[in-house]
Structure 1
Amino acid sequence: MKNLKRSFSVVCEPPASRINQANDMALEGRHAEAVEIYRELARSGSTFPYLWINLGISLTMLERLEEAAEAFHEAVRRQPSFAQAWGNLGSVLARLGRFDGAALALRQAVELAPSDLGARLNLARALQNAGDLEAIPVAEIAVQMVPQSAEAWCVLGDARLAFGDDDGSLTAYDRARGLDPSCLDGSNNLGLAYFRNGQLEESMSFFEEAVMRRAGDADAWCELGISRLHAGDVPGAIEALRASVERNPSNEYAHSNLVLSHCYSDGHTADDIRDEAIVWAKVHAQTGFELPPVHVASRDKLRVGYLSADFHAHPAGYLYEAMFPHHDRSRFEVFAYSNKDYADDVTRRIAGSADEWKVISDHSDQELAELVRQDGIDVFVDLLGHTPGHRLKAFGLRPAPVQATWLGYFGTTGMPQIDFILADRYVLPERHESHFVERAARMPGCLYVFQPPKLAIEPGSLPARSNGFVTFGCFNNLSKITPEVVALWCQVLRALPDSRMVLNRWPLKSMRVREWYASMFRANGVDPSRIEFRATSGREEYFRSYHDVDLMLDSFPFGGGTTTSEALWMGVPVVSLSAERFVGRMTESILHTVGVPELLPTDASDFVRKALELAGDLPQLEAYRSSLREKTVGSPLCDLPSYTRDLESTFEWMWENRRR
């Protein structure tokens, strides 16, 4: 928190010599000696109005923040109209992480001194850190007061970024840099704003420059790694994330992203993924402390707690919205713990369908664990794994007698405190159990369920009939589309010189990302002009893109999941090569469930053979086009009530087989 006000002024009243002596010491940086004199004067009953604020300033300079806060509290108690004291109190409380209290103090400072820009900016910062949207209008008033203040525009940009106004944040940062090109030096927020605006090229360039200027900046390395992962540069992402973790081993967020990035890598095995996850757990979640053993209450219903940051308009959020109402309330109680303040219509419907809804984004891990314990949760379900927004450290305190991970992440958490990972016989065969710290809890049917979108879009006719050539496609995240994947696809494309391919993902808006992928195809003997790079924005536009594709080619070792289900619903078959890890077997499970296992090749050469065979059989592709939606919707993949019953029976099995 900036702008701590100093007031070491010369006085001419008794005992002026002692006060001036202390002030001189403070001005010379001899704060410890100054503190002793200020305290001596305080004990003697000095009425000098600046005594307590000067004491607070010296204590602040010594990093004795709790004592400083007490001194500033005394200053405002003695003189409630002292704006400077209120401002300094707010600054110190903010440094102590007490943002609500800081905001209250800084409001007083602003009311007493409305023209004090520093106090107003500190108020905006405190409100932002307290999660209060009022930070934005407070910062907007600041830039209206002093439109030539680069700092004020930076604070406005930070507030807008924090509350999701990504376009507005970039506008503010542009104004700030126009006034002072160096104003954002040392901050990563402009790079984050680029990333959230989908400007991946600018984001990567920003963070590449940042780590060149500040090689020790672990946060910049982390954000560079995340940007590279979204751009499909998995080795570059791992390199940057590893650099971040080396510079700040306590950064659990960077380390989780490193674990996640291993899942996409051809160069890392399932055992490598497990080992990195175990390291994460030992470094970040092995506190040596667990809550006391749970007293298992005797009641008729099993109480299940779901924790996620995706209870909103999100592929996972749509599923929870549809699934929660199907829970058998005669046997289960549903508690939902949301690790995100943001709410939309999907959020509100999910909240309404849960028996208890709790927003826990401002809870510490200890507070969250104690809340789950107080709620009497029997089965506590992590829906995030190592993806953003997770609260694995709270699970590490073992607040519930049964703890499991499901759906949001498809690998081991590395945590012995999580008892089970939900799976099925395809994604986690018995021979793969050594890849997991958790025990496998296999559902009777498919691990996945698909909720078809509420869009009036039919599969349409086979585009190859009107185009005169076959179009392949892949709409998976680019992080799944590695050079090894492109090399295999190019074997298919070279064998069919007239064929085309469509890739569709938002990072392809970036010219740099398109060039990166174009170079991969070019290196494998395929002219990049045959590849169409799309970045559809809306949900309806995205689904209409399937009208231009005859046959989907899946990625490996991290295959499709939601995108596979979407393609089948749109009548487009998916050829998928299974891998020896959970994330590489999701499409296998889906294709078996829908009843089209013939789309699964046995190895890479069979992948090429099968893709070419289908591309040369337009009647078969038309048969898939006309039948796959009905087949998909009529399969267990879309039978949400039955799926929920299977999930419940799995929870009951876990309860019966819990650690005792």
Structure 2
Amino acid sequence: MNIPKLLKKAAKVSSNGDLGKATQIYSIILKADPSNCEANYQLGLLAANLGDRQASLLFLKNAIQANAAEEKYWQGFIDTLKEFGQYDDAKKVAEEAKAHLISKQESAVERENDFVRKLVEYYELGNYAQAEHQALLMTQKFPENPFSWKLLGVLVQKSGRLSESLDIHRKAIDLAPEDADVYYNLAVNLADLKRLDDAVSMFKHALSLKPEFSQALTNLGVVLEQLGEVEDAEICFIKAIRISPNEAKIYNNLGIAQHSLGKLLASESNYRIALTLEPQFAEANTNLGNVLRRLGKLTEAAESHCTAIKIAPELAEAHYNLATTLEDLGELEGAIAAYRDALKLRPSYLLAEVAMCHQQQHICDFTAWNSFPEISCQHSDEMGRPSPWINLSWIDNPEKQLALSSAYAKLKFTRPIGSLPQKPARRPERIKVGYFSADFHNFPGMYLMAGLLEHHSRQHFEIYAFSYGPPKHDEMRYRIQSAVDHFVEICDLSDNDVVNLVRGYGIDISIHRNGYTKSSRTELFQYRLSPIQINYLGYPGSLGADFIDYIIADPVVIPENQREHYSEKVIYLPHSYQPNDDKREIAQTDTSRADFGLPENAFVLCCFNNNFKISPREFDIWMRILNRLEKAVLWLLKTNKWTEHNLRKEAKQRGIDPSRIVFAERLPQSEHLARHKHADLFIDTFNCNAHTTASDALWAGLPVVTKQGSQFAARVSASLLNSIGLPELIVNTQEEYEALILELATDTNRLNALKSKLARNRLTKPLFDTRQYTRHFEMGLRQAYDRYFEGEKAEDIWIHADSAQPQ
């Protein structure tokens, strides 16, 4: 017998008015199941309707005995007693019903609390799968309980089912719209889904309900930082600390934000507070190391990273950060080992892989070159994007270089651009030009541009030098300070402070001398320091950033067929883009080749480029040339101790006596220039040419052979040679490169003729005419400013050789 089906049938016929048929069906049910509460209850009501008091009360009493927890059975019995005038009995039954039903409610609450206690227990023990099962069961048994939905959402989110957990969080909000926690949980979920703007909205709603919610403030700060709103993030962390002053993680987050804003001393202070509260906080230790590195405290920085690794040896970022610091300390093998450790912990760590390969370049470990092309085409991993600077020596492809730079800029520079002061009503008599660099000291790039700074027209230009590098006290620093109108130290200033300072000076043109090279602060330019911003000299390629308006170039380094691979508009100078100083002193020395370890009767091939520019391609050619020229030697700059060992090992593997590679130590600039007289020919590298080193050689009277490539960095020497009137030393293929070197090494007359021509051209051709270069450069700046002043958008500017005006 299907009793539930019969109960439905009886209810239906009763509602249709067939009470006799209903009574018959209920009686059949009771015959089969005398304690069926619903059949007893319905027969009791039917009997009361017929006026049968005795039968009615008997059936209703049986229903209550069968299920005293059901309120309607009590109510039916009470109402029937009243219908039959038994009011005292009805009152007694009502009291009895109240006691039973309260007991039932208390029992249900206790059961619900038992579920909650078990759910919390599972969660706190970390048994998340069991906790999720318990929470799901609770939502089924107690669907109106908001806590079960709240924790179920957290558990589903924790399992990585982020879309599924969204709906659960929203159900919790429906049940508890005044609970700040449920909005907080939804916000965290949205942040995990990278729906950052929606997350911000939910965090703010949670805070509107609970203003002292420090966890919501902290996580809101983290999301705002991801959105590039770092100043607002900093405010959130400061508010959170006021509420929870003993939470080390909040101080760590504040330190990260302040480091990003350039508030290095404040950042250091907050990391140290975090570590006072929680000495075993590995992330805070390595973050402290990062800011100490930025402050130039390299030994302390390395110690902080080592402490982090000791606390948490599995923290890949700490190994990576230690490696970057060891680089700065010159411990390149240690840096490579630390990068390798980071990669063991996280094999997909692209930043570590790229940096490790680059340091292998620096020590001329050619085994790494097999990895370079593949890595260089990768844009990012979960930790960020490698600096485009590294790629310049790996590949010669301006299209790829622009793609890498653009991707890097898009990820790295996300701060909103502030509004600039209103354009002046009248054109200023003197244009204010600000040069920004970390290298206003004895540095290769400064040897090139010191003369430019000294020759600027003070009638038409007011020159500022903004230095964000560590303070140095050397002759070049003093020279630059004397050359400019204003020398401003900004190394200890935050980004906002720099922006306000620069705008306060009313700078018209900001010139970024570092680009993506080491110690750069490209992030300053994203705020728009001035109406015109220019990429100049330090980075031989496009920055791919929409906040840089122009790049200084020439028709050789950016030819027409490669123009599309530079995001900036180009200010084309008529000769070389590179400045030179015609006052550079060449020391008068009476040194011999023997003083530098060179054989007196050898043909000396020289390359003083940084060692990381040397690839197996060039080295193979050089070794073949040494094999052909028995008395030739190769003279290289020794940039580190490992290079010497590795290149001599590579020479031996190619059948060349390792002693035929001679390494030059670093010397003061004038003495370095002087030693070029002991070389016969300067031979260039390919993907990243000689830059300052090519100008050094030419200024010292040493011819340079170069292979002209495709990208800016691979065409610099060609630009210089064209500018000094020696295009015959430019070739286009590796085969031509090798052949020309051999020809010059075996044809003394031809080589001497080239040296004589170089000696004549040195002071007559444009390359070393500092005054003329400055006038052309200033024409480019003036035209860029004129376009801005007239309300015209930036466009390519061509300066012609005859367009320079007298000072």
Shared fold per TM-score greater than 0.5: yes
418, 424, 427: which one pairs with 1:299? 427
1:643 and 2:643 aligned: no
More helix by share: 2
CA drift of 1:562 comes to: 0.4
Q: Which residue of 1 aligns with 2:238?
A: 104
267, 286, 297: which one pairs with 1:154? 286
Distance 1:136 1:458, change over 3 A: farther
3-state secondary structure, aligned to 1:517: helix
- Counterpart-to-counterpart distance in 2, 1:615 and 1:523: 34
CA drift of 1:120 comes to: 4.7
Alignment of 1:491-530 (within 5 A): 491-506=624-639, 508-510=640-642, 514=644, 516-530=646-660
- Counterpart-to-counterpart distance in 2, 1:598 and 1:223: 37
Alignment-mate amino acid for residue 627 of structure 2? R
Let me know the Cα RMSD of the aligned residues. 5.6
- Counterpart-to-counterpart distance in 1, 2:557 and 2:269: 50
- Counterpart-to-counterpart distance in 2, 1:279 and 1:104: 36
**Higher RCO, 1 vs 2 (CA within 8 Å, ≥6 residues apart):** 1
Once the two structures are superposed, residues 580-603 of structure 1 have per-residue CA deviations (whole angstroms, 9 ceiling, x without a partner) of: 445444335545656777877875
Do the aligned partners of 1:576 and 1:599 also contact (CA within 8 Å) in 2? yes
Do the aligned partners of 2:430 and 2:459 also contact (CA within 8 Å) in 1? no
CA drift of 1:455 comes to: 8.3
Once the two structures are superposed, residues 112-141 of structure 1 have per-residue CA deviations (whole angstroms, 9 ceiling, x without a partner) of: 54xx54455445444434433233344446
141, 164, 178: which one pairs with 1:40? 178
1:240 and 2:375 aligned: yes
Q: Which residue of 2 aligns with 1:461?
A: 591
Q: Which residue of 2 aligns with 1:604?
A: 738
Do the aligned partners of 2:215 and 2:240 also contact (CA within 8 Å) in 1? yes
- Counterpart-to-counterpart distance in 2, 1:534 and 1:300: 50
Q: Which residue of 2 aligns with 1:223?
A: 355
Do the aligned partners of 1:191 and 1:203 also contact (CA within 8 Å) in 2? yes
3-state secondary structure, aligned to 1:207: helix
Tell me which moved more, 312-321 or 472-481: 312-321
190, 207, 210: which one pairs with 2:322? 190
Alignment of 1:109-258 (within 5 A): 112-113=245-246, 117-130=248-261, 131-140=263-272, 143=275, 150-184=282-316, 188-211=320-343, 213-224=345-356, 226-228=358-360, 230-231=362-363, 236-245=371-380, 247=381, 253-254=385-386, 256-257=388-389
CA drift of 1:57 comes to: 5.5
CA drift of 1:396 comes to: 13
- Counterpart-to-counterpart distance in 1, 2:524 and 2:304: 36
* Count, aligned residues: 596
Q: Which residue of 2 aligns with 1:476?
A: 609
Q: Which residue of 2 aligns with 1:562?
A: 692
- Counterpart-to-counterpart distance in 2, 1:291 and 1:173: 36
Distance 1:394 1:502, change over 3 A: same
Unaligned runs of 5+ in 1: 1-5, 10-17, 42-51, 78-84
Do the aligned partners of 1:483 and 1:520 also contact (CA within 8 Å) in 2? no
Alignment-mate amino acid for residue 313 of structure 2? P
Q: Which residue of 2 aligns with 1:46?
A: none
3-state secondary structure, aligned to 2:636: strand
- Counterpart-to-counterpart distance in 2, 1:120 and 1:138: 5
Once the two structures are superposed, residues 312-371 of structure 1 have per-residue CA deviations (whole angstroms, 9 ceiling, x without a partner) of: 444335655653353224334557777x5866568896699367979799769xx989x9
Q: TM-score normalized by structure 1?
A: 0.69
Q: Which residue of 1 aligns with 2:537?
A: 407
- Counterpart-to-counterpart distance in 2, 1:122 and 1:373: 31
- Counterpart-to-counterpart distance in 1, 2:568 and 2:279: 56
Q: Which residue of 2 aligns with 1:93?
A: 221
Tell me which moved more, 166-175 or 234-243: 234-243
CA drift of 1:578 comes to: 3.9
3-state secondary structure, aligned to 1:133: helix
Q: TM-score normalized by structure 2?
A: 0.58
Unaligned runs of 5+ in 2: 1-119, 125-141, 155-168, 192-198, 226-231, 788-793, 797-807
CA drift of 1:656 comes to: 7.7
Alignment-mate amino acid for residue 89 of structure 1? L
Q: Which residue of 2 aligns with 1:14?
A: none
Alignment-mate amino acid for residue 402 of structure 2? A
Distance 1:525 1:154, change over 3 A: same
- Counterpart-to-counterpart distance in 2, 1:420 and 1:264: 25
- Counterpart-to-counterpart distance in 2, 1:549 and 1:200: 30
- Counterpart-to-counterpart distance in 1, 2:172 and 2:312: 37
Once the two structures are superposed, residues 230-274 of structure 1 have per-residue CA deviations (whole angstroms, 9 ceiling, x without a partner) of: 4565663332232344x57x96x547347x43x654xx4xxx424
Once the two structures are superposed, residues 198-234 of structure 1 have per-residue CA deviations (whole angstroms, 9 ceiling, x without a partner) of: 3333333443454454344443344345445545656
Q: Find the structure with the greater CA-based Rg.
A: 2
Alignment of 1:284-363 (within 5 A): 299=427, 301=429, 303=431, 308-310=436-438, 312-313=440-441, 314-317=443-446, 319=448, 323-334=452-463, 353=484
Alignment-mate amino acid for residue 371 of structure 2? G
Do the aligned partners of 1:158 and 1:169 also contact (CA within 8 Å) in 2? yes
